[in-house]
Amino acid sequence: MQPIVYIDTSKIRSDKLEELKVAIKGLAAFVEANMPRLISYGFFLDGNQTELTVVAVHQDLASLAFHLDVGAAEFRKFGNLIDLLKIDVYGNIDEAVLKRLHQKAQMLGTGTVRVHKFYAGFAR
């Protein structure tokens, strides 16, 4: 079974950086407390602190689906803080999860969703 890597990138809205930093810490704590199957979850700011990247490593498709379901209300809180530019998913997902990813992209911005299907390699 291959893990699924989720990466999204967003532009931080003007004058929202400090509010976003507080919201990020809250979301990280929520995810850690409520999503035990998530292997890794990190927020990264670029050098100018104008762009935010979220990197999540899920054990499997069920973990990603659970994350999208349980986190939906929390993700909505970011709507006035960011403009989601893109979501990239590395791994095999189903149509239901793909649909939810498109909904998240529309809810938080004008971003695209790209799925990169697993071809070869291994996970330990």
- Mean predicted confidence (pLDDT) in 47-74: 96
List, in order of start, the domains of the chain with CATH numbers: 4-116 (3.30.70.100)
Strand partners, 38: 58
Looking at residue 27, its pLDDT comes to 96
Cα–Cα–Cα angle for 72, 108, 80, nearest 5°? 100
Looking at residue 123, its pLDDT comes to 87
Asked if the model's pLDDT at residue 52 lies above 90, the reply is: yes
- Mean predicted confidence (pLDDT) in 34-51: 97
Query: For 88-124, how does the pLDDT look when each residue is reduced to its tens digit (9 = 90+)?
Result: 999 999 999 999 999 999 999 998 999 999 999 998 8
The percent of residues above 70 in pLDDT, for the chain, comes to 100
Query: For 1-18, how does the pLDDT look when each residue is reduced to its tens digit (9 = 90+)?
Result: 789 999 999 999 999 999
Q: What is the pTM of this model?
A: 0.95
- Mean predicted confidence (pLDDT) in 38-63: 97
Residue 108 and residue 75 in contact, taking contact as beta carbons nearer than 8 Å = yes
Question: Residue 14, SS3?
Answer: coil
Max Cα distance, the chain (Å): 43
Looking at residue 98, its pLDDT comes to 97
